[in-house]
Amino acid sequence: MKRKASVLPGFKLSLGFAILYLSLVVLIPLSAAFLKTFTLTWAEFWQSVSAPRVVASYKLTFGASLIAAIINVVFGLLTAWVLTRYRFFGKKIIDAFVDFPFALPTAVAGISLSAIYSTNGWIGSLFEPVGIKVAYTPLGVVVALTFIGLPFVVRTVQPVLEDLSAEVEEAAASLGANRWQVFYKIIFPAIWPALITGFALAFARAIGEYGSVIFIAGNMPMVSEITPLIIITKLEQYDYAGATAVAVVMLVISFALLFLINALQWWSNRRLGHTAS
């Protein structure tokens, strides 16, 4: 097999390093989780991962993560749009605010959110009269996951929007496209891949989130218990194998979903052409 010569030297060395690095940081710890589950028989494994409480937690974790990621796609895109397209006083500061959920320890985020959204909190007390409880319900889980996922969408879409030159839109407009057509035919195809990437990152982050959610979820079995808490609970009982079994199920579902999202992105890129290069 003939390898195409690259202008950059050191292909073998850098590839070797990349694989070693990935193995040490990602693959070996993950394979340890898989290996631990092999100490279970199939029946034990199935019992661990299919108990009603565990199944209810999958639904909550994946459902709430999906809703949170969708909310973030809509409002993250809006935020990125405002930050790239308009000039206003204090823009730099607002831009910096976006990164807060990255930097804040998740436990602090969880405690702050539960303080604000509980029935005696600033926002929670507004919802209380209409009979909506946010903190200590599944809705609280969505709030926490939306909070931690926001920067992913904004930060992936923002650079693409910045690169998108206004001339293209002006050209479209001068050729008779209305505003909606400019957005739909010019801007959207360009930012679509970045938007999907942001969605996938926010979604994946939400699935694994523990620290912020446990403070606001209420953690009631069958209602507001997330899967990472189920894993912690099993560890608390020194049930290492049971914990890794649930973790493996989460990993497999997450991997399948992320694979699906990547496939969607690949498919849409082919269909729409490589507008965002």
Partner 1 sequence: MFKYLISLTVALLGAVPITVSAETSILNVSYDVSREYYKDLNAAFITYWKEKTGETITVNQSHGGSTKQARSVVDGLQADVITMNRSPDIDILHEKAKLIPKDWQGRLPNNSVPTASTPVFLVRKGNPKQIKDWDDLVKPNVSVVIPNPKTSGNGKYSYLAAWGYVVRKGGDEAKAKDFVTKLFKNVPVLDTGGRGATTTFVQRDIGDVLITFESEVFLIQKELGSDKFEIVYPSVSILAENPVALVDKVVDKRKSRALAQAYLEFHFSEKGQQIAAQHYLRPQVSATQDQFVRVFKPLELFRVESIFGSWSKAEKTHFSDGGVFDQIYTR
Which residue's CB is nearer to partner 1, number 232 or number 256? Answer: 232
Residues between 208 and 237 that touch partner 1 (CB under 8 A): 214-215, 218-222, 229, 232-237
Which residue's CB is nearer to partner 1, number 56 or number 154? Answer: 56
Q: Is 269 one of the binding residues for partner 1 (CB under 8 A)?
A: no
The residue with tokens 């399948």 is: 256
- CA angle, 41 then 57 then 235, to 5°: 55
H helices of 86-123, where?
Answer: 91-97, 100-103, 106-117
Which residue's CB is nearer to partner 1, number 135 or number 144? Answer: 135
Residues between 23 and 62 that touch partner 1 (CB under 8 A): 48, 51-53
144, 212 in Cβ contact below 8 A? Answer: yes
List all residues 6 or more positions away from 221 whose beta carbon is below 8 Å from its beta carbon: 53, 56
DSSP string, 120-150: TSTTHHHHGGGT---TTSHHHHHHHHHHHHH
CA dist 258 and 197 (Å) reads: 10
Q: Is 129 one of the binding residues for partner 1 (CB under 8 A)?
A: no
Which residue's CB is nearer to partner 1, number 202 or number 234? Answer: 234
- Nearest distance in Å: CB 236, partner 1: 5
List all residues 6 or more positions away from 39 whose beta carbon is below 8 Å from its beta carbon: 241
Which residue's CB is nearer to partner 1, number 189 or number 221? Answer: 221
Q: Is 106 one of the binding residues for partner 1 (CB under 8 A)?
A: no
Q: Is 94 one of the binding residues for partner 1 (CB under 8 A)?
A: no
Q: Is 85 one of the binding residues for partner 1 (CB under 8 A)?
A: no
Q: Is 246 one of the binding residues for partner 1 (CB under 8 A)?
A: no
Q: Which of 61, 65, 106, 114 binds partner 1 (CB under 8 A)?
A: 114
- Nearest distance in Å: CB 202, partner 1: 25
77, 195 in Cβ contact below 8 A? Answer: yes
Q: What type of residue sits at position 113?
A: L
Task: Please report, as ranges, the residues that interact with partner 1 according to CB under 8 A.
Answer: 48, 51-53, 111, 114-115, 118-121, 135-136, 214-215, 218-222, 229, 232-239, 242
